């Protein structure tokens, strides 16, 4: 039952993240994060892994190339 409660709050989190920015959204997100932390701490549970969360944790694959000006200075 506890896992289902965590999963429901986690789903709610992603739903609220899509709302337009507002004080109500910020307060709701804080409440959801507080509930998830409480559930995880009190019962040793972890938040479920979903594609949205996993994609946020991945390192960026962006590679920066040196500018052409740096190459000209070295020549």
User: What is the rounded distance in angstroms from the CA atom of residue 23 to the CA atom of residue 31?
Assistant: 12
In a domain, 70, yes or no: no
In a domain, 71, yes or no: no
Domain count, the chain: 1
In a domain, 6, yes or no: yes
Tell me, yes or no, if the pTM score tops 0.75.
no
Mean local confidence (pLDDT), 59-71 = 59
Residue 19 is part of which domain span?
A: 2-58
Tell how far CA 59 is from the center of its chain.
13
Q: Worst-scoring range by mean pLDDT, 6-10, 17-21, 69-73?
A: 69-73
């Amino acid at each position: 039952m506890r896992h289902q409660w965590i999963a429901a709050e986690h789903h709610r989190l992603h739903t609220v993240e899509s709302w337009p920015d507002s004080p109500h959204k910020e307060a709701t997100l804080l409440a959801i994060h507080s509930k998830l932390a409480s559930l995880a701490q009190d019962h040793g549970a972890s938040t479920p892994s979903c594609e949205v969360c996993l994609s946020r944790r991945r390192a960026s694959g962006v590679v920066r190339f040196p500018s052409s000006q740096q190459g000209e200075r070295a020549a």
